[in-house]
Amino acid sequence: MTTGSSVYSTSIHHFELYTEGFSVPAPSTYTSVEAPKGEFGVFLVSNGSNRPYRRKIRAPGSAHSQGLDSMSKHHMPADVVTIIVDEIGRVVSVGDGIARVYGLNEIQAGELVEFASGVKGIALNLENENVGIVVFGSDTSIKEGDLVKRTGSIVDVPAGKAMLGRVVDGLGVPIDGRGALSDHERRRVEVKAPGIIERKSVHEPMQTGLKAVDSLVPIGRGQRELIIGDRQTGKTAIAIDTILNQKQMNSRATSESETLYCVYVAIGQKRSTVAQLVQILSEANALEYSILVAATASDPAPLQFLAPYSGCAMGEYFRDNGMHALIIYDDLSKQAVAYRQMSLLLRRPPGREAFPGDVFYLHSRLLERAAKRSDQTGAGSLTALPVIETQAGDVSAYIPTNVISITDGQICLETELFYRGIRPAINVGLSVSRVGSAAQLKAMKQVCGSLKLELAQYREVAAFAQFGSDLDAATQALLNRGARLTELSMDSVIECH
């Protein structure tokens, strides 16, 4: 092999170039790896000057290939010691937030890529001729023929206690104007859910501070409890009240393992709503144990799709380190709509309600990551409160039935109850917790054991009582007791618009 030969490989992004006449010693043997088809950008980094020497080449064997040997002989400065090789492709077409790229033959599914304009994207469709890349941001700065560079990394986000009190976007970039994040680690947004052996059955209560929830549909640490209802029925209010009520409980915690950290993921909401939420949490000093992930309505669909996974990765930090966390997805209906938009633009075949065939897996792989870990694996937990918005009270639609079947129970809210002043407007008959009394304290079990049955009987009798006034004493007593129990279960809730 001639002088100036080098290691040339797509899997190695940084390697040393040795050649006679350079200031570094030349080894006795040289290695050469044939590159696959595709384009490569080669950057020659100067060791001495401030201006690096750069030159692009094509892969060996292509029509316009230029060997590393000839380049190193004739064009390379004497102080160049390192070559950085990046696999690059070219944009074939771009539009509607989707870029088709040719040449990225070694790319992984879900890998981050960077366009020449600095915009990033994620590779979702790996096809024979090209790669379908969803763009994070506006595609107006991307043109046909632009270079696209692999980053070599799957999408990851910052995690750790440094995130507490911060507001970040779907990629974990701070948007609260308080500067960069301090010391933190990075975690992949897509990871496997804990296995069967690593889990433990839910047995610790996760107190929401709402009487109707804690008594009728108790939630345990590590549970998934769906909050479902029409728009403007108080779904977000229940979630935010739960975060606010942890302030008092965390102040009584004697150890870190008793503290509950909160992650709130806002998907497709108005920016004004998110700003109002930040103000509410700040005034109550609840931001000190909370993280906000915001993918607002004006953000691109890929960020709305990615935000729940990013928030989950942040919550998993606490779960995997023996601590407890609560994550709220508000709401997963908008994530499904964003995913449908991306899938249709990627030309994936549509199914029921035009959603792609894997929309169930979209939510199941997210919600299965909420778990109570066994004592051998740290005994941490991640509790999930996903929110789903229904249309005209139809809980049998596609997305609501999917999420109901994944979760461990649901809290159903009704518009009629809301307008009657019963808040939170929980329909006791349709709401259920599949963990049940296992997630309640012993005293709470004794007090609330028959409460749900009595309220159900009250609703049934109240419907018939409207038709006549001749009621016996037992029925009248049941109605009076039911009315008092309903008043007792009402809480003052915040209002989010």
Taking Cα atoms as reference points, which of 213, 202, 162 lies closest to residue 381? 202
Which residue is listed with tokens 């490989």? 9
Calculate the CA dihedral of residues 449, 454, 459, 460 and round it to 10 degrees: 120
Q: Which long-range contacts (CB under 8 A, 24 or more apart) does 302-305 make?
A: 302/97, 302/121, 302/122, 302/134, 302/135, 302/136, 302/170, 302/338, 302/342, 303/136, 303/169, 303/170, 303/171, 304/170, 304/267, 304/268, 304/334, 304/335, 304/338, 305/335, 305/338, 305/339, 305/342
| Cα separation, 139 vs 492, whole angstroms | 46
Q: Is 467 helix (H, G, I), strand (E, B) or coil?
A: coil
Go through 437-449 and write b for each residue having 16 or more CB atoms within 10 A of its CB, e for each that does not: ebbbeeebeeebe
Structural contact between residues 228 and 399, judged by C-beta atoms closer than 8 angstroms = no
Structural contact between residues 385 and 228, judged by C-beta atoms closer than 8 angstroms = no
CA torsion through residues 311, 315, 316, 321, sign: positive
Phi, psi of 155 (to 5 degrees): -60, 125
Instruction: Provide Rg for the chain, Cα atoms.
Output: 28
Is 459 in the active site?
Answer: no
Structural contact between residues 344 and 212, judged by C-beta atoms closer than 8 angstroms = no
| Cα separation, 252 vs 249, whole angstroms | 5
Q: How is residue 97 annotated by DSSP?
A: T
Taking Cα atoms as reference points, which of 273, 339, 276, 281 lies closest to residue 308? 339
Structural contact between residues 87 and 38, judged by C-beta atoms closer than 8 angstroms = yes
* CB count in 10 Å sphere of residue 182: 11
Of residues 188, 271, 348, 434, which has the active-site annotation? 434
Which residues of 192-323 form beta strands (DSSP E)?
226-229, 260-267, 290-295
Go through 200-232 and write b for each residue having 16 or more CB atoms within 10 A of its CB, e for each that does not: bebebbbbbbbebbbbbbbbbbbbbbbbbbbee
CA distances (Å), origin 491, targets 238, 356, 426: 10, 40, 11
Q: Is 333 helix (H, G, I), strand (E, B) or coil?
A: helix
Structural contact between residues 258 and 323, judged by C-beta atoms closer than 8 angstroms = no
**Which residues are designated catalytic?**
434
